[in-house]
Amino acid sequence: MATKTITVEGMSCAHCKQAVESALTQLDGVSSANVSLEQGNVAVDFDDNKISHSDMAEAIEDQGYDVK
């Protein structure tokens, strides 16, 4: 299990928070995702044997946000 904080641009409201958290937690291998709108990032707990950073970044970008 690993924890990573991913910086995400463009999240502005509760809907954005929900969209990003849902997209991540639906991925196999992600156990939790917690967006901070104030900090512009998402803290993710995941199994690094099952999922990579690029998989998670792609899920975020598919929701219309930019990963830095």
Gap between the Cα atoms of 49 and 37, Å rounded = 28
In terms of CB distance, is 1 or 13 closer to a second copy? 13
Q: What is the dihedral of CA 36, 39, 45, 48, to 10 degrees?
A: 140
In terms of CB distance, is 10 or 31 closer to a second copy? 10
Residues near a second copy, by CB under 8 A: 10, 12-16, 19, 64
Nearest distance in Å: CB 68, a second copy: 18
Judge whether 16 and 65 are in contact, CB under 8 Å. yes
Nearest distance in Å: CB 10, a second copy: 8
